[in-house]
Structures are given as structure tokens and as C-alpha cells.
A and B are shown apart, each in its own frame.
Chain A
Amino acid sequence: EPEVTQTPSHQVTQMGQEVILRCVPISNHLYFYWYRQILGQKVEFLVSFYNNEISEKSEIFDDQFSVERPDGSNFTLKIRSTKLEDSAMYFCASTRDPNTEAFFGQGTRLTVV
């Protein structure tokens, strides 16, 4: 069964460092998303991406964040200068069409120290 894969599963980084989280969405999906979940809190939307550009971004997704689809299979989230409050589980998701069943990856647990 097709699935969304994310790497790494866990990343520890020092405050101020850049991190890149990687995702391989389901191959015939066209819409890609990043969500995050701070420990003990709700899953919250960060950004959606379609046709090689951002469709929508939340207030959280400030200038420190960027997304890219560098090739035909990968979708990445970059945080330029990490802060302690960026520590969270980051989930990648994909859908074939808008507002349809979303499939999530297993997540990357980012710990900023």
C-alpha cells in the first residue's frame, strides 16, 4: 500500500542551526502539506503546496521556514535558524485532490537544545 515516508525519524539540533526535514509523498498525489504537533497539543497546519508553489501558510510559517520540491519525489521543510519552541513532531501529508483523504507520514521528532 502506498505510504508517505519521512526522514529522519528523530533529529536533535542546536538552537540557531538549520535543519531540513524530508518527505516522499504518495507518488500520484498532487497536494503536499506540513503539520506539526508540539508535545501534548493539537496537530496544527503549517503549509500547503501545489504545483510547485505554496498555496497557503499559517501564522507559524514565518520567514524562518521554507518548503521545496527539489525533484519529482521529495518534499522538504527547512527551518533556517531553529529555536527551542520549534521542538515538535513534524508531519508531512499528501492528498490526490483538495479536501480529500489525507495520508500522513510517521513524523520527524525535532528536538532543539
Chain B
Amino acid sequence: KQEVTQIPAALSVPEGENLVLNCSFTDSAIYNLQWFRQDPGKGLTSLLLIQSSQREQTSGRLNASLDKSSGRSTLYIAASQPGDSATYLCAVYGATNKLIFGTGTLLAVQP
């Protein structure tokens, strides 16, 4: 059974800092991996989708990497801003067409 873990559970950084969020999954036989942002009491906003054949995907200040063989993905956020404060979720597509979510990393960017 696929398990997705995110470390750290919470992170607080000063504005302007670059940071890395980690996601690990137990079964490397995934199709794609998707990163989301969730604001308190709100829905999930898609940030990036990395296909299983890709190693990296970039969108603006965000860069996501995928290493299937080691069961890891990272989300790199450059030059963090207070508006980046949210919970970041990673989710993987396994053998069937459904997303399996991690526990999330709660990010606070201090002005």
C-alpha cells in the first residue's frame, strides 16, 4: 500500500529565504506526482505536476524534482514571500487513477 510522507511537518523562514520541502513515497511504481498549495479552510491549488518520465518541472519561483528510484520528490521555493505561507501537499498517482496524499508541510514566511 502506497504511503506518502512529508518532512518537515512545519517550517518557519524569514522572507527572501530559499527553501526545500520534501516528499517521500514507499512504492516507486508511480505514474505522476502533483504538488498542491492549501490555504486555511480552502481548496487545493495545483502548483506543479511532474510526469514519471520527468526529473524536474519549473513554474515561476517553484521547482519540483522527482527521483522515482529513491521514492522522493522535492519542492524548491526561491526567494520566499509572506504570500507563500500555506500548507503544501504532495500527492502521487499509483497503479489506479487516484491521488494519494501526504500529510503536508505547513509553511510560514515571516516578513
Binding site for B on A (CB under 8 A): 6, 31, 33, 35, 42-45, 48, 55-56, 89, 91, 93, 95, 98-107, 109
Contact = CB atoms under 8 A, between A and B. Distances in A.
A103 B43 CA distance: 10
B43 A56 contact: no
With most chain B CB atoms within 10 A of its CB, the pick from A56, A91, A101 is A101
A56 B44 contact: no
B43 A102 contact: no
B49 interface: yes
A107 B42 contact: yes
6 contacts: A43-B89, A56-B98, A91-B44, A99-B32, A102-B46, A107-B43
Given A56-B96, A100-B32, A105 B43 contact: yes
B101 A55 contact: no
Interface residues of B, number: 23
Contacts of A6: 43
Contact of B44 (A43, A44, A45, A95): A43
Contacts of B102: 42
A99 B49 CA distance: 10
Nearest to B104: A42
Contacts of A89: 41
Contact of A99 (B31, B43, B101): B31
Nearest to A89: B41
B103 interface: yes
Contact of A106 (B43, B46, B101, B103): B43
